[in-house]
């Protein structure tokens, strides 16, 4: 892993996965069986959306989403790129705005924890 490289694991939380911590633990169990060290595993950023990433894109585009239902399908790359920029800005700063959906807040906190660990070590 290089100094400017970050492994990001994107996944959806389906009906059988109650929260991001549970899915992250399942990933850890598999990674451990594959011989990955805990230190190496902890350097990955986990980004977990509830049901579909489209909910986040809907939130980042219009300022609201209901994670208990699937967000609308995204048909244009430009919409995705703009949402990704807004997501990075929101996670990188403590900017005010509509409250983040629970899974998006979890993922931002996970990313912040990684950057804090990287800065300390």
- Would residue 46 count as lying in a domain? yes
How large is the average pLDDT for residues 10-29? 83
The whole-model pTM stands at 0.51
How large is the average pLDDT for residues 19-45? 88
Q: How many structural domains does the chain have?
A: 1
For residue 64, what are the domain limits?
8-120
- Would residue 2 count as lying in a domain? no
pLDDT for position 5: 56
CA distance 109 to 119: 15
pLDDT in tens, 98-114: 888 887 887 788 777 77
Find the angle CA(66)-CA(51)-CA(24) to the nearest 5 degrees: 120
- Would residue 32 count as lying in a domain? yes
């Amino acid at each position: 892993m290089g100094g400017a490289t970050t492994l990001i694991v994107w996944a959806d939380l389906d009906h059988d996965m109650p929260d991001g911590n549970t899915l992250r633990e399942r990933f850890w169990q598999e990674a451990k069986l594959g011989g990955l060290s805990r230190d190496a595993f902890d350097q990955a950023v986990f980004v977990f959306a509830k049901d579909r990433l489209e909910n986040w894109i809907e939130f980042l585009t219009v300022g609201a989403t209901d994670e208990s239902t699937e967000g609308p399908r995204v048909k244009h790359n430009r919409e995705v790129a703009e949402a990704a920029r807004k997501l990075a800005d929101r996670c990188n700063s403590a900017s005010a705005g509509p409250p983040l959906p629970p899974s998006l807040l979890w993922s931002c906190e996970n990313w912040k924890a990684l950057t804090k660990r990287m800065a300390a070590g």
